[in-house]
Structure 1
């Protein structure tokens, strides 16, 4: 009975919530855990860089993401979550779309890659920080928890598909263009495709109509943070910090290790990362 009620709720999720979940699926497939996560470092290696430069690129991006989170949260209160989500997806499209064009840039290659990656990560921050408040605004209390759960599950699920597809794309382009997988070009085109896939996400997000604030009155005693609540937030913040730090190291260097040290093919790297994403589905 409980399972039937749960699936009944899922079938009645609002149009706006379904549209937002579709943007999350595109984001996971193309960027977060998907094609881009699988291939970016391998592209940098094919450009002749080593793990230290890949670490610098990823590290500076994470710094931008971390430092921008609080200001982005404050901006969301004044400009609205939807505007910032659209801006975030646009920045993701721009930043991650420009990275694989580095070879054609008139600027120094390293500077181009780092700066454009920072733009993309700023977009990730805009999207990530405002996703939660936006779901609050477009869902009813009955469907809200289910939409949050689906949104959390969609990223690794879509990342599974994106990693799997991303692992095979360089081989496909190499075969079509008569190139070797030791060259950068077979990795460039999948990265461009991944960035272009975010354009439909922007269009879909713009179709969401219901962005009114949900009126939820708190009792007077709940309007200010208690000491216990502050302690809980601090502990959770520490846990998240440790988790993200460990995950960041693995996300940054695992595919480099598999490619450089173990000489595993790009297709098999995609398969390994894909099933790792699948195991992360809550």
Structure 2
């Protein structure tokens, strides 16, 4: 109870910029929830198969890889405020284009804007939260941002599952028609554009007159240590890319459920994550970040197999929730882990490299998964996703488990690569 009260007290003391970032999260989280739920279904409603979903995902991720380092330089040149505004506007523009021009060339081409915009948003986000929080506020801020993302995902998925039916009735089209999905996705694009408004009011932090503040720049002083830090994250991206981009399509093709049901399932998953996300930082403080991440990801692999092999909806639902909730709970813990173990001057570079590696892994694996699914080779999808997840768990345990896990908890204030005490 004392830990919970201290957690809430540190959350109340966050500064103005942190509050504005959380306000952005409320709007952008709702937007991304709608996009994640409906965009792939929109693509299939246009007559395309899963290989097109894999292709657009690969293009977006490839652009993200190419754009990551330039985005890091742009962050250095623009500063956090302008970089975040530009990132949101580019992301919103990429969401509108395929709705206005629903042809294959535009579906693929708009991923250029998405890859640049969303990559810049991700690269700027974690360092921005780190720079605008104290050491005691950092874990609550990352956790609260995650919880708000899940709350907006709950609302976005619950409402988003019904939006195509509402727009279909209003437009005189079917609930699963392209026109119905377009109407719902326009709502998501509008929310993304609105999420830029809080950043207008961000205040640039004034540097200490007697100090030379570390500006975000692309410099790595401990490449071996950073490679170990990023390896589990990137390998895990391969496993995630096999399954996550197609979760809504897999629900529809394997369990034959409606859009509203898929939205309710996604909303339920987000709601469970809201409660669990409040306690994940406390668990990581009590047992160590590495141990919690290893246990969560191991249980998630079991959930993945339960979803893939389940003959009944109830078992599939339990497996999906286990995999989705636990995998997503690892994200804020890993994000904080990477930032805490990076020197202030290296954080932008570490964030950029993490985004590059994860995007590349996600993009290639999603393209392969789309091809397999188009050829009805679902078994390979589940086996490959689980296999790479296990490799990621092994890398985390090998590089940071055991004595390394205890040192990680004891030396969280020291950048990775510094000499041990």
Q: TM-score per shorter chain, which class?
A: 0.7 to 0.9
1:255 aligns with 2:241: no
Secondary structure of the structure 2 residue equivalent to 1:197: helix
Deviation of the 1:232 alpha carbon:
3.4
Secondary structure of the structure 2 residue equivalent to 1:123: helix
Tell me: higher relative CO, structure 1 or 2? Use CA pairs within 8 A at least 6 residues apart. Answer: 1
Alignment RMSD (CA, Å) = 2.3
For 1:94, the equivalent position in structure 2 comes to 93
Instruction: Provide the TM-score with structure 2 as the length reference.
Output: 0.59
Could you list the structure 1 runs, at least 4 aligned residues long, displaced by more than 6 angstroms after superposition.
Answer: none
Q: Where does the alignment leave 5 or more consecutive residues of structure 2 unmatched?
A: 274-324, 331-421
For 2:139, the equivalent position in structure 1 comes to 145
| Contact 2:169–2:175 (Cα < 8 Å) also in 1 | no
State the alpha-carbon separation in 1 of the partners of residues 62 and 131 from structure 2: 29
1:276 aligns with 2:273: no
| Contact 1:30–1:36 (Cα < 8 Å) also in 2 | yes
Deviation of the 1:89 alpha carbon:
0.1
Deviation of the 1:125 alpha carbon:
0.4
1:68 aligns with 2:57: no
The equivalent position to 1:264 in structure 2, one of 257, 261, 279, is 257
For 2:6, the equivalent position in structure 1 comes to 5
The equivalent position to 1:241 in structure 2, one of 214, 229, 234, is 234
Q: Deviations over 1:163-219 (max 9, x none)?
A: 22211111121223332124211110111110111222111111112344576879x
State the alpha-carbon separation in 2 of the partners of residues 213 and 139 from structure 1: 15
| Contact 1:61–1:117 (Cα < 8 Å) also in 2 | yes
The equivalent position to 2:161 in structure 1, one of 149, 167, 170, is 167
Q: Where does the alignment leave 5 or more consecutive residues of structure 1 unmatched?
A: 104-108
| Contact 1:157–1:281 (Cα < 8 Å) also in 2 | no
State the alpha-carbon separation in 2 of the partners of residues 65 and 48 from structure 1: 27
For 2:221, the equivalent position in structure 1 comes to 225
| Contact 1:137–1:212 (Cα < 8 Å) also in 2 | no
For 1:114, the equivalent position in structure 2 comes to 108
Deviation of the 1:11 alpha carbon:
1.8
| Contact 1:91–1:120 (Cα < 8 Å) also in 2 | yes
